[in-house]
Structure 1
Amino acid sequence: MEHEVRQGGGAGGGCLVVPVKIVAVLVVLPVRVVWELLVGFARAVHRYLLGPLYTYVLGPVLRALGQVVSFLLRLVFVWPWVGLWRYLLGPLVRALYGYLIAPVARVVYRYLLRPLALAVWRYLLVPVGQGLAWLCVRLYRYVLRPVGEVLGWAWAVSARVVRALGRGLRWVGWVLLGWPLSQVYRYVLTPVGHLLRGVWRTARAAVREARAEVRRMLFGTPPGEPARSRARTLSSTTAAADAAPAAEFSPPR
């Protein structure tokens, strides 16, 4: 907007802007001059009049006035009570304590509290303590010790019963599970395992022989190995493989 005003002024309003600025300067300049004069006067008054007046006159007067007021307050409200306690109440309290309270307290302790405490200790606390000790001894002798012995006997008996039950459970477990499983393993699983092992060996030998035969048919006899010796080796291997399961089929003893 200011740019537009400047453009408009450039177009034809320059004759109005310049007189307005001149009038503004003529109005503001005297005010600014007066303000600066007042500020300078105030600074000069503070520096050369009020400052020294407070430093050398008002300050000492105010400090002296404060000391006087403090002295008067102590004179009126502090020193009388301090003197009253120091010269009247303190000696009176000490005299009362030394000549009345302390003797009365010693007399009360010697002729009332101490005999009462001794009587309470002798005729109340000691019999009560002895009675409690006697009761504890009797309770231990006739209740706690028999109960402990009974509990110990019951614990020992329960341990024996538990051990007997353990042995019985082990025997029952052996009769119901262990012995049947051992018989099954001995007379069923072992022969079946031997039979399966023989079958596996026979099948493996047959596979080896078939693989060797296929290799011979495809690639011929390896050099340095005659066909008769290889056939003998194959026949002996087959015979050994055929003879091995025969020993496995022996009936169990």
Structure 2
Amino acid sequence: MQMEKAQAASGGDGCLTGVVRVPVKIVAVLVVLPVRALWDLLVAGARAARRHVLAPLGRGVGWVLRQAWLYVLRPLSLVLFYWPWVGLWRYVVVPVGGAAYTYLLRPLGLGTVWLCVTLGRYVLVPVGSGIGWVLRHVVVLPSEWLYRELLTPVGHGLRWLVRGLCLLVFVWPWVGLWRYVLVPAGHGLAWAGRHVLVPAGNGLAWVGRYVLLPPLSLLYRYLLLPLGELLVGAWHIAGRILRALGRGLRRLWRGWVARPAAWVYRQVATPVGHAVREVWRTSRAAVREARAEVRRMLFGGPPGEPARSRARTLGSTTAADAAPAPEISPRKRRG
């Protein structure tokens, strides 16, 4: 029953699925299956080698390295890189440095200090005192006398002059203008504002509030506002009416004028125009041929084939007579 159900379920796949499935199974059995088996063998071998060979070998190598570090490398590194430098510092650098400091650097420093103190006491201080005395009696005292006896009176005079000029130019005119012009004018304006403008403003405000405002507010509320709303409503209604009228006129123009005119132009005027054009061309060609024949009969001329009409048929681009003209004239043909 299960095989029948599997066959019934797989019976709807089609022949193309069966044709593709068979080579895929063959490739899977011949190629994929050996590769997968070889991969599984390699994985199992690698796991066994890691478990039974590499892990014990790694533990042994680690033990050997630890023992070598503890009993060989560490003592050897101490002997080669630590103890020589410690001995050099302790038994060479420290004693030599201490002896150099005690017997060379400290006496040299004390001698340098004594030399600097002696030089400063017996050379630099007297020289500095002499330079100071010279500067005091040559520069400072004359400068003080010049400042006290000349520059100070001149400065006081210039200060008094500049102060007087500043007062004369920048202070007294503006003080006089403020005291004798602006202050009285301000007092007058304040009195006028207090006793004239304020009562007048209060009176105008009272008149505007109790006389003009109520009628104007009533006029605006009961006349202008309803009239404005009425005008706005009428404007919108007129706009709607005009839009509807415009649409109607456009439809009437399109239905009663534009389309009939286009139809008349297409169906009547165009064929009539074409017919008139062809008749005009034919008449003009006939007149031209008759005129040429009359001229030939009156004045003479070489006989020739009359010009063939190039009239076109209605609705076409070819001439009415498309046959080629004969190459031999009627006289040569009669001869």
TM-score by length of 2: 0.41
Higher helix share goes to which structure? 1
Aligned counterpart for 1:19 among listed residues 14, 26, 34:
26
- Check 1:164–1:89 CA distance in 2 against 1; reply closer, same or farther (3 A cut): closer
Aligned counterpart for 1:91 among listed residues 96, 99, 112:
99
| 2:50 paired residue number | 43
Q: Distance in 2 between matches of 1:110 and 1:161?
A: 65
The alpha carbon displacement at 1:56 in A equals 2.4
Structure 2 SS opposite 1:33: helix
The alpha carbon displacement at 1:159 in A equals 4.5
Q: Distance in 2 between matches of 1:101 and 1:86?
A: 20
| 2:60 paired residue number | 53
- Check 1:23–1:89 CA distance in 2 against 1; reply closer, same or farther (3 A cut): same
1:101-153 alpha-carbon deviations (Å, 9 max, x no partner): 14422441343233122213321235425654424422421343123211222
Q: Distance in 1 between matches of 2:147 and 2:82?
A: 76
Residue ranges of structure 1 left out of the alignment (5+ in a row) = 1-5, 179-253
Q: Distance in 2 between matches of 1:64 and 1:9?
A: 77
Q: Distance in 2 between matches of 1:29 and 1:166?
A: 113
Q: Distance in 2 between matches of 1:12 and 1:18?
A: 11
Is 1:158 the counterpart of 2:165 in the alignment? Answer: yes
- Check 1:56–1:158 CA distance in 2 against 1; reply closer, same or farther (3 A cut): same
Q: Distance in 2 between matches of 1:30 and 1:70?
A: 53
| 2:128 paired residue number | 121
| 1:80 paired residue number | 88
| 2:39 paired residue number | 32
Map 1:1-253; keep pairs closer than 5 Å: 10-44=17-51, 45-50=53-58, 52-62=59-69, 64-71=71-78, 72-77=80-85, 79-98=87-106, 100-129=107-136, 131-159=138-166, 161-162=168-169
- Check 1:38–1:121 CA distance in 2 against 1; reply closer, same or farther (3 A cut): farther
1:164-196 alpha-carbon deviations (Å, 9 max, x no partner): 6568989xx99xxx9xxxxxxxxxxxxxxxxxx
Q: Distance in 2 between matches of 1:102 and 1:34?
A: 85
Q: Distance in 2 between matches of 1:33 and 1:167?
A: 115
Q: Distance in 1 between matches of 2:100 and 2:32?
A: 87
| 2:285 paired residue number | none
Letter in 2 for 1:134: L
The alpha carbon displacement at 1:19 in A equals 2.2
Letter in 2 for 1:105: T
Q: Distance in 2 between matches of 1:130 and 1:26?
A: 119
Could you say what the CA RMSD is over the residues aligned between the two structures, in angstroms?
A: 3.8
Q: Distance in 1 between matches of 2:162 and 2:35?
A: 115
- Check 1:76–1:19 CA distance in 2 against 1; reply closer, same or farther (3 A cut): same
| 1:240 paired residue number | none
Letter in 1 for 2:92: L
1:60-103 alpha-carbon deviations (Å, 9 max, x no partner): 323554423431112445532553211224313321134x4144
1:185-231 alpha-carbon deviations (Å, 9 max, x no partner): xxxxxxxxxxxxxxxxxxxxxxxxxxxxxxxxxxxxxxxxxxxxxxx
The alpha carbon displacement at 1:36 in A equals 0.9
Higher RCO structure, 1 or 2 (CA under 8 Å, sep 6+): 1
The alpha carbon displacement at 1:40 in A equals 0.6
Identity between Structure 1 and Structure 2 (%): 19
Residue ranges of structure 2 left out of the alignment (5+ in a row) = 1-12, 186-335
- Check 1:142–1:18 CA distance in 2 against 1; reply closer, same or farther (3 A cut): same
1:29-78 alpha-carbon deviations (Å, 9 max, x no partner): 3321232123213431343330x224422123235544234311124455
| 1:241 paired residue number | none
